[in-house]
Every structure is written in C-alpha cells, then in structure tokens.
C-alpha cells in the first residue's frame, strides 16, 4: 500500500499510531495538553475503528493502576498524561517499572505547579528519569507517530519487559498541524506482532505478583531492574534499525547529530526546540561558524559512550534544556557531565531555557552559541545559566 502522507494534528499523529498498534486496554484521565490524544482514541473506539477497552478513570493515579492491572493480565496497554497527571501517577509508575510491565505512555510535556502553568517544558518527564522507565523524546509529529510501534516493540521484548515513555512537547507538538507520513496497518502488523506475555494473571496457572521483598532480596531485585534498563540499549537500537528498514526511515536510535561533525561549539538539547536550534545552526554556518546540534533522543538508559563519541570533538557543549534540578543545574547537563567524568572532554554549560512555555527564538539560541564559545578551555560555572531571563520583574530581595 502507498504511504498516507497527510497533514494532521500532533495528537492525532500519536493516536493514529497507537490505533495501528492494536492496544487492547487504554485507560486515561484528561489533562491539558494531553486531551486531544485520548479524545481521538476514544472516538476511534466509539466508531469501531479501534477494538479496545477504553477505561475512563477518576484520576491519573487510577488510570496508571488500570493499565498496570490490564498489563499484568496479559494485554497490550497504553496511557497518556502530562505534568500534574504524571506526578499524581508517580507512585504507580515506579511500581509499574519494578513490576516489569511493558506499558506504553505518552507524556505531552508541560510545566509543573507552582505556579500553575499549562504550557510546555520538560520538568515533568525528566523528573521521572530514575524510575526504570525507558524514555524517548520527540522533535516533531512524525517522530511521535513513528516511535509508538518502536515503543511497544521494545517494551514487550521478553528480554526487556520494561515500561516506556515517549515525550512530545505540549501544545508545540500536541496542538499543531504538520505533514506526517502515516504508517500502513500491514507494515505495522508485520513490524509489531501481537503481545505474548512471559507471565500473566491466569486461573489456569495461578501466580503471585507483587510479593513483599525483604532486605535479603530487595537489593538484588533492584539490581536486576537496572540491568534490564541498561540492557535495553541494544534492543532499542535493533528496534530502530528494523523500523528504518520496514518503513524507509533513517532514525539514529539514541541521538541525532546535526552538522556536528566538525563543530567546535555544540548545543545539546531535546524535544521540539531542536527545530529552532537547527535553524540557528544553519544561520551561523552561513556565517562560517563551526557550530552544530546533538539532539538527545533517548534519556534513559543514558547513552554515555555515544554521548562521549558525539561531543568529544567539541571544545564547548551548551546543554539547553527545559527543566532544572533545583539547587543544582539542568538535569540533562549533569547527565552529560557524568558521561565525561574521569575523561578529558569539552566544557559543559548548563542552560535553563523556555520554562512554562517561554519561547526560545533563534536569536536566543545564537546568543547561546556566541556565549558558549567564550567558555572554551575554562571551567564551567557552578550555577546554571538562565536563558532569556527578564531581570526587570525579579525583586532584588529574596
């Protein structure tokens, strides 16, 4: 069949991909800007286009618990949320990872309260990095569409058995229309066969799930969870490779390198802002500057060796991210620095940018490249650098 290239809303790009993956149970609770995804999916169920149990719950906590129960009972499951909803799910999400259930969750990245704010940054999903979920970030609607079968395939691999989150920036991607080449059902079916759980709740083979682990076993069970997350890396690479071959795409699994080969100053970022950064890189390149972008796609597991390889040649790496570990710096910046601990490497700067939907325009990105060049050969500052800070509205006294 011919690929169906069309203009769709980002949320529909996800919903359509999820439909093609044939989930058997979806459970969700509405929260801006995730709403269009679950509205689209519930309409597909109502119209008979998707044969699936769709469970509307009274909270995100319940939605995560519903997909947990459904996954333990042996079916393919999906949920979507963001921000406060993700935070309300936190206890369940750690439990899902510890229970090794292959649930697929889309996070429509949004700032967290307080102050309450419905617009985009990535504080929500980045805060979940330690739970045992695999985490992939998307730049555009095509990526979020394509990454759904990859997510299910990796999560459900009997050698992986881990939950996975794909991230799309709220509003910037969820509520904008883009041309997307939609996948074909037959190809998705061939790429993603029906889910075959290794164990499940079954009266014919009664098993106990979620037993109480004491100090003599807990340590080892957590070791095994980390081993599984680390071990997922080659499986993710293989799933991307097979996807590229099946669907004619060209995704690098862990990160995308943009004009970075000979770059002296690099920006590392993730999500939709990478589109803007690519424009800034192009403009600076025409001015003859050796700059480039490394777009981090996979945050967990952290591809440390690949990060070293991609960033090593530069003198300075400015990590531009929409999150912060309060009292420290940007979380991705810390992770990038950890990849170079004990190695000679570039100066790594932490830039906090675009929180709560603040726009990050091309001139700001160009400013980052210019400033970053001045840090060549120097020790990076201890404090993060805040991009586009309007000091005029900040009181002097704490």
Q: Is 81 in the site for other proteins (CB under 8 A)?
A: no
- Does residue 212 interact with other proteins by CB under 8 A? yes
Choose which of 11, 99, 120, 269 interacts with other proteins (CB under 8 A): 99
Q: Which two tokens stand for residue 225?
A: 């969870």
- Taking the C-alpha atoms of residue 297 and residue 295, their distance in angstroms, rounded to an integer, is 6
Residue 27 Cβ vs other proteins, minimum distance, rounded to whole Å: 7
DSSP, res 394:
S
Q: Examine residue 206 and tell whether it contacts other proteins (CB under 8 A).
A: yes
How far is Cα 162 from Cα 133, in angstroms, rounded to an integer?
7
Select 203 or 397, whichever has its Cβ closest to other proteins: 203
Instruction: Please choose, from the candidates 115, 103, 83, the residue with its C-alpha nearest in 3D space to the C-alpha of residue 18.
Output: 103
Distance CA 111, CA 124 (A): 7
Q: Dig out the tokens for 397 from the structure.
A: 């006294």
Q: Give, as ranges, the residues between 164 and 203 that touch other proteins (CB under 8 A).
A: 201-203
Number of alpha carbons in the 13 Å side-chain half-sphere of residue 335: 26
Work out which of 6, 39, 45, 73 binds other proteins, going by CB under 8 A: 73
H or E segment and range at residue 236: helix 218-247
Nearer to other proteins, 41 or 92 (CB): 92
Three-state SS for 298? strand
Q: Kindly determine how many residues on this chain lie close enough to bind other proteins according to the rule CB under 8 A.
A: 43
Does residue 275 bind other proteins (CB under 8 A)? no
Parallel, antiparallel, or unpaired for β 4-9 and 177-182? antiparallel
Question: Is residue 115 a contact partner of residue 140, using CB atoms and an 8 Å limit?
Answer: no
Q: Which of 195, 254 has the CB closer to other proteins? A: 195
Instruction: Find the shortest distance in angstroms from Cβ 132 to other proteins.
Output: 15
Q: Does 46 bind other proteins (CB under 8 A)?
A: no
115 binds other proteins (CB under 8 A): no
Pick from 43, 46, 59, 363 the residue near other proteins by CB under 8 A: 59
Residues 133, 161 contacting (CB under 8 angstroms): no
Segment near other proteins (CB under 8 A); pick from 55-63, 112-120, 150-158, 320-328: 55-63
CB of 22 to other proteins, least distance (A): 10
Cβ closer to other proteins: 14 or 25? 25
Query: Which residues, numbered 216-255, are part of the site for other proteins (CB under 8 A)?
Result: 217
Q: Which strands make up the sheet holding 134-137, listed edge to edge?
A: 53-56, 25-28, 77-81, 104-109, 164-169, 134-137, 298-300
The C-alpha R_g of the chain, in whole angstroms, comes to 21
Pick the binder of other proteins from 45, 55, 225, 238 (CB under 8 A).
Answer: 55
Q: Does 74 bind other proteins (CB under 8 A)?
A: yes
What CA–CA distance (Å, rounded) separates 107 from 117?
Answer: 16
Nearest to 145 by CA among 254, 243, 260: 243
Phi, psi of 185 (to 5 degrees): -60, -45
The least CB distance from residue 92 to other proteins, in Å, is 7
Q: Which stretch binds other proteins (CB under 8 A): 69-77, 185-193, 224-232, 341-349?
A: 69-77
- Judged by beta carbon, residue 228 or residue 353, the one nearer other proteins is 228
CB under 8 A: which stretch of 60-68, 243-251, 265-273, 316-324 binds other proteins?
60-68
**Residue ranges in contact with other proteins by CB under 8 A:** 24-25, 27, 52-53, 55-59, 61-63, 65-75, 77, 91-92, 95, 99, 201-203, 205-214, 217
């Amino acid at each position: 069949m011919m690929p169906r290239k069309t203009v769709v809303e980002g949320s529909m790009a996800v919903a359509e991909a999820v439909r093609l993956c044939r989930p058997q149970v979806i459970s969700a609770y509405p929260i801006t800007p995730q709403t269009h995804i679950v509205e689209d999916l519930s309409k597909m169920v109502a119209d008979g286009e998707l044969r699936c149990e769709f469970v509307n719950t009274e909270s995100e906590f319940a939605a995560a618990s519903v997909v947990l129960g459904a996954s333990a009972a042996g079916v393919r499951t999906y949920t979507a949320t963001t921000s406060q909803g993700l935070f309300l799910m936190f206890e369940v999400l750690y439990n899902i990872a510890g229970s090794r259930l292959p649930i697929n969750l889309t996070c429509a990245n949004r700032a967290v309260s307080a102050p309450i704010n419905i617009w985009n940054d990535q504080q929500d999903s980045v805060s979940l990095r330690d739970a045992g979920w695999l985490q992939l970030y998307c730049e555009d609607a095509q990526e979020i569409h394509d990454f759904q079968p990859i997510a299910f395939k990796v999560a459900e691999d009997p050698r992986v058995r881990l939950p996975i989150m794909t991230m799309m920036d709220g509003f910037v991607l969820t509520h904008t229309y883009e041309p997307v080449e939609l996948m074909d059902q037959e190809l998705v079916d061939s790429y993603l066969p029906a889910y075959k759980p290794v164990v499940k709740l079954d009266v014919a083979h009664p098993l106990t799930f979620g037993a109480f682990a004491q100090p003599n076993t807990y340590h080892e069970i957590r070791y095994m969870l980390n081993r599984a997350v680390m071990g997922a890396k080659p499986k993710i690479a293989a799933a991307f490779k097979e996807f590229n071959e099946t669907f004619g795409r060209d995704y690098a699994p862990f990160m995308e390198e943009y004009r970075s080969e000979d770059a002296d100053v690099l920006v590392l970022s993730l999500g939709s802002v990478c589109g803007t950064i690519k424009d800034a890189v192009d403009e600076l390149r025409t001015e003859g500057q050796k700059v480039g972008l490394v777009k981090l796609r996979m945050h967990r597991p952290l591809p440390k060796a690949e990060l070293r390889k991609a960033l090593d040649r530069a003198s300075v790496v400015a990590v531009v991210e929409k999150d912060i570990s309060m009292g420290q710096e940007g979380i991705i910046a810390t992770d990038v620095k950890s990849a170079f601990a004990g190695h000679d490497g570039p100066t790594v700067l932490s830039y906090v940018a675009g929180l709560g939907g603040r726009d990050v325009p091309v001139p700001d990105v160009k400013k980052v490249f210019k400033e970053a060049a001045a840090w060549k050969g120097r020790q990076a500052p201890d404090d993060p650098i805040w991009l586009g800070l309007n000091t005029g509205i900040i009181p002097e006294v704490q």
